[in-house]
């Protein structure tokens, strides 16, 4: 099995939110790379307003979907 490249989209499921207008529990969010944020235990996601923003990593569970599901998620977000 080959290792996935960093350019492959990554996703997370929200399990907690202080503002349900921005993040909805049980919803899937696309993560964007942000090494600086990761060092502080934050992740950058595209939120409900379609903007990328930093949120605490413990608001999410990280998931690896099969490629077919990742493509479908990306198509629905456009």
* DSSP secondary structure string for all residues of 8-64: S-EEEEE---S-TTT--TT-EEEEE--HHHHHTTEEEEE-TTS-EEEEEGGGEEEE-
Host domain of residue 24: 10-76
Listed residue (4, 22, 6) closest to 14, CA to CA:
22
5: DSSP letter:
P
Domain assignment present for 32 = yes
Kindly state whether residue 3 falls inside one of the protein's structural domains: no
| pLDDT tens-digit readout, 37-78 | 999 999 999 999 999 999 999 999 999 999 999 999 888 765
Kindly tell me if the per-residue pLDDT of 4 is higher than 50.
Answer: no
Is 5 contained in some domain?
A: no
Q: Assess whether pLDDT exceeds 90 at residue 21.
A: yes
Per the domain annotation, does 72 fall within a domain?
yes
CATH of the domain at 23: 2.30.30
- Report pTM: 0.83
Per-residue model confidence (pLDDT) at position 8: 66
40 occurs within a structural domain: yes
Nearest Cα to Cα of residue 14 among 4, 26, 5, 3: 26
- Domain tally, the chain: 1
pLDDT score for 1: 39
Report pLDDT for 33. Answer: 95
Q: Residue 2: inside a domain, yes or no?
A: no
């Amino acid at each position: 099995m080959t290792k996935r490249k960093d350019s492959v989209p990554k996703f997370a499921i929200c399990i907690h939110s202080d503002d349900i207008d921005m993040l909805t529990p049980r919803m899937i969010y696309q993560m964007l790379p942000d090494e600086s944020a990761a060092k502080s235990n934050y992740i950058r996601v595209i939120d409900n307003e379609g903007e990328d923003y930093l949120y605490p990593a413990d608001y999410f569970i990280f998931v690896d979907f099969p490629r077919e599901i990742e493509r479908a998620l990306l198509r629905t977000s456009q």
